[in-house]
């Protein structure tokens, strides 16, 4: 049986049209050798994998857009250093999905939670300072 995740990973990691064409050609050749039941199963697995990838992409876009709004008020270098012990570039790579070691950088679930907690903590510190100034 075909390893759909491996095929999709290879396809999306391909850096040229020629590489993608080679993967597509091999895929079609292998697909033709399958029984009709196996073909249907592979179709479902491809759709599921593509759906998962689409959801992850939308989540990345959503985080990036929201963080763009925050960037007007808080330094990404500050957030990266204080809360992650990393550089501004590390944070930007994840926000933009830049290639790092040949793969698109992204946040883990734990990093997303940590980023959210960092923003809450910064907002609490700003609120506390604002109240202290007013009193």
pLDDT digits (tens, 9 = 90+) for 3-17: 877 888 887 787 788
pLDDT 10s digits, 50-89: 788 777 776 777 788 888 888 889 999 999 999 999 999 9
With the C-alpha atoms ordered 59, 65, 70, 74, is the resulting torsion angle positive or negative?
Answer: positive
Taking the complete model, does pTM exceed 0.75, yes or no? Answer: no
Overall average pLDDT of the 88-94 stretch = 95
> What does the mean pLDDT of the chain come to?
87
- Determine contact, residues 114/120, Cβ cutoff 8 Å: no
Using CA atoms, how far apart are residues 64 and 57, in angstroms rounded to an integer? 11
Percent of the chain with pLDDT strictly greater than 70: 99
Q: How many residues does the chain have?
A: 135
């Amino acid at each position: 049986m075909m390893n759909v995740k491996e095929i999709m990973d290879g396809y999306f990691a391909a850096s040229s049209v020629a590489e993608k064409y080679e993967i597509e050609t091999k895929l079609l050749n292998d697909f033709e050798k399958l029984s009709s039941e196996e073909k249907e199963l592979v179709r479902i697995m491809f759709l599921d994998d593509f759906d998962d990838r689409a959801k992850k992409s939308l989540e990345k876009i959503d985080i990036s857009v929201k963080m763009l709004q925050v960037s007007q008020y808080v330094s990404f270098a500050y957030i990266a250093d204080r809360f992650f012990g990393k550089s501004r570039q590390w944070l930007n790579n994840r926000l933009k999905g830049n290639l790092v070691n040949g793969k698109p950088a992204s946040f883990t679930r734990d990093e997303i939670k940590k980023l959210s907690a960092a923003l809450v903590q910064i907002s609490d510190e700003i609120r506390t300072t604002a109240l202290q100034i007013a009193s």
